[in-house]
Structure 1
Amino acid sequence: MTGEPRIPCGPAALPASANSNAAFAHGADKAALRAMLKAARRALDPAQKAQRDAAIGARVLAWWRGRAAGGGAAPLGVYWPLRGEPDLHPVYADLARAGVRLALPLVVAPDTALAFVEWVPGEDMLSDRMGVAVPARRRVLERPSVLLVPCLGFTTERYRLGYGGGYYDRTLEALPRPYTVGIAYAGDRVEFAGARHDVALDVVMTEEWSDC
């Protein structure tokens, strides 16, 4: 749906990255992987990061427009970027102007699934208990059926490496599962042994490619 040749969605389909962090130590300790990926993001040149964010945003926007054209329009769960995550605010603004209903995640308590609140870009924001921006006026929604999920890292099998809080893991446990689009930089691909609770993402989008 991006106007580029479709990449098959099998585990071996994810291509190598020209910007790889070379984090392919299978079974590597997740804490060490997190530290390495965080350091790589801190070292990323701001201008280069902005270019990568724009490229990811273009893919997300094209994908969503194709989904809507096929009758798949629905509320979209998005995220507020933290710790160097890809910043998709320009895309959010475009989607909102097109009438797409957006929802941001909200941490309601430790060790629980995320709640979701309606968000209109530009409205007043506050920080939640985790220091994440949420709308000052909270309008709670049902969990959206489609979620953009930020990844600190991801594997060839589309398992996500987050910050260790487990909030998205718990959010994805309940059926029916939402359709999940992992958002990451191409160099964030790593390898680790998946745990029993890990749920594979449906799609991963980076600045270099998307497997959808």
Structure 2
Amino acid sequence: MNPSIARDTPPPQTQEEATALHKQRLRAELLARRKALPEEDKAAADALIGQRVLHWCAAQAIHSLAVYQPIRREPDLSAAYNALAARGVHLCLPVVVDKQAALEFRAWQPGDMLEKDGMGTLVPPPGTAVVRPQALLIPCVGFNEKNYRLGYGGGFYDRTLAGESPPLSVGVCYHFGRADFAAQAHDMPLDALLTDGAVDAKSLP
């Protein structure tokens, strides 16, 4: 065998590497589809997801919830946040304190001041009260039939849910985000998954 050919032959992929590559490609496809979603369709989907979030919170008697500020055309659930605050639910927002750590959560209500962090995400400023929410509202790029989430690959929510006595977790995603992919060792399943499509019975209480 020609030695140069042997040196240029890539080693076989492990199952973990193959899964990671598949998720990377799937992430790119779903983000492109989300980017192309017409504004009118997006607004209707966001409103429906928001109503399902309100139903889930009421059914689970949620009194404190970590929400999110949308980036990269994630569902905009600001109307639901306003409704939750009006019901007396205490809201908070996630903050990245270290790229290898779990998320920190800072108290927030609609109208409170926010500032951009080092990753360009709007967060409550330093000095805001740090809280421990009862549940997390988590945006998803995609999800599979077992309620495993496809995110951006940073692992922040997985590390947060891997801790002791983790909060409840409810993912939100557009219906076209349902996909076939295997979970990796670090992935944590969500307790519920809400979309703008047909509601899966196991995703609601």
For this structure pair, what is the TM-score category when the shorter chain's length is used for normalisation?
0.7 to 0.9
Unaligned 5+ residue runs, structure 2? 1-17
Instruction: Write the mapping of 1:56-205 to structure 2, written as runs, cut at 5 A.
Output: 56-68=49-61, 73-136=62-125, 138-205=127-194
Q: Residue in 1 aligned with 2:27?
A: 34
Could you tell me the TM-score, scaled by structure 1's length?
Answer: 0.82
4+ runs deviating over 3 angstroms:
none
Q: In the aligned structure 2, how far is the partner of 1:152 from the partner of 1:138?
A: 31
Instruction: Report the structure number with the largest CA radius of gyration.
Output: 2
Render the CA deviation track for 1:3-33: whole Å, top value 9, x for unaligned.
xxxxxxxxxxxxxxxxxxxxxxx95711100
Render the CA deviation track for 1:56-95: whole Å, top value 9, x for unaligned.
0011112212333xxxx32111111110111100000111
* Contact preservation (8 Å) 1:118, 1:138: no
Q: In the aligned structure 2, how far is the partner of 1:195 from the partner of 1:67?
A: 28
Render the CA deviation track for 1:122-150: whole Å, top value 9, x for unaligned.
12210011111012364233331211111
Identity among equivalent pairs (%) = 45
Q: In the aligned structure 1, how far is the partner of 2:92 from the partner of 2:177?
A: 25
- Report how many aligned residue pairs link the two structures: 183
**Residue aligned with 2:60, SS:** helix
Render the CA deviation track for 1:157-210: whole Å, top value 9, x for unaligned.
111110011111111110112111010011101111211111110100001225
Q: In the aligned structure 1, how far is the partner of 2:47 from the partner of 2:41?
A: 10
Q: Aligned AA for 1:33?
A: L
Q: Aligned AA for 1:90?
A: A
Q: In the aligned structure 1, how far is the partner of 2:124 from the partner of 2:43?
A: 25
Moved more, 109-118 or 129-138: 129-138
Which structure has greater helix proportion?
2
Question: Aligned Cα RMSD in Å?
Answer: 1.6
Structure possessing the higher relative contact order (Cα contacts under 8 Å, 6 or more residues apart): 1
Could you tell me the TM-score, scaled by structure 2's length?
Answer: 0.84
Candidates 17, 37, 41, aligned match of 1:48: 41
